Structure 1
């Protein structure tokens, strides 16, 4: 009997005032409601990664920093990743880019999805994240969740600060599409690896 794909929901911001926890918890709830996957939150705050300073990517030589090795071991546990991302100057957070750079082999041939938030739903950050994923030999999936505009202000602390459930009917189709894609691609890539 095949094991269910294990999906990490990676919180891509480390700021004290981040908004990421709210959509991350909501996405975790959606993933855990399914019977075709398991899911776990992975918070970059828990790893205290230094800025990447290895002689080369672990594609070419093993990393030496114990914090990088701990990060690599954690992300190696998963069959796919959903990144929770804000948009900073048309891209992802520096913390998320650094975390992506701290590994290579562990990301390979696994699906990646996105839940983005901000004025434009982090659309440009997600687009950039897809390109980074391609370079890391990941499989960017089509489905994504974007919390944008009025919906964003309805749930953000600088707006109405309502629960995500207030806008859930606007997000569910995207979340279902994203999770369906993650399961399909995680099963496909796991099978191809033997």
Structure 2
């Protein structure tokens, strides 16, 4: 079964991204097409890029980078649960992406974005050139959550039917893309 990495793209205290990502994880488990690797960047706690060599060389010197490389290498698809910060995406997510290079190559990627009126879409727009340079392949389906904080009840994200349906389409698409793109991955 392919492996789906779900990445919580915010590390802010009190963030709503964590309950949204738990909702994504629950639906991915129910979907049944993936083994799940849930990555909370707050728990991963990568320091600001501290590797002396360019990531394309894969000559990592720190155990945290070696471990992160192995996790991303093992992923067959990725969903970034990402906020919008000042018309862009979070610095923690940028740091996590920049740590590596080849490990991301040709991995299918999907987005669950959240924010105010724009539903995080400007953050995803800012991410697109980054994922393109890393060689990731974007899925067509995207879950966009405007004013997502309004959908929190007791610390849990309560999705609407439309959002759940779109996430189902995204998961199905990522499963198909992971199978088609697997021969192109740069696995170590």
TM-score by shorter chain over 0.5: yes
Q: Partner of 1:164 in structure 2?
A: 157
TM-score by length of 1: 0.87
Structure 2 CA distance for aligned equivalents of residues 40 and 47 of structure 1: 12
Q: Partner of 1:154 in structure 2?
A: 150
Instruction: Point out where structure 2 has 5 or more consecutive residues left out of the alignment.
Output: none
Contact 1:92/1:128 (8 A) holds in 2: yes
Q: Partner of 2:92 in structure 1?
A: 95
Structure 1 CA distance for aligned equivalents of residues 19 and 142 of structure 2: 16
How many Å apart are 1:102 and its aligned residue?
0.5
**Counterparts of residues 76-155 of structure 1 (less than 5 Å):** 76-119=73-116, 120-149=118-147, 152-155=148-151
Root-mean-square deviation over aligned CA pairs = 2.0
TM-score by length of 2: 0.89
- Report the number of matched residues: 185
Between 1 and 2, higher relative CO (CA 8 Å, sep ≥ 6) is seen in 2
Q: Partner of 1:10 in structure 2?
A: 7
How many Å apart are 1:82 and its aligned residue?
0.2
Give the direction of change, closer, same or farther, for the CA distance of 1:112–1:139 in structure 2 (3 Å limit).
same
How many Å apart are 1:69 and its aligned residue?
1.6
Give the direction of change, closer, same or farther, for the CA distance of 1:43–1:32 in structure 2 (3 Å limit).
same
How many Å apart are 1:57 and its aligned residue?
2.6
2:177 corresponds to 1:185: yes
CA shift digits 1:109-149 (9 cap, x unpaired):
11111111111110011112222111101111111111104
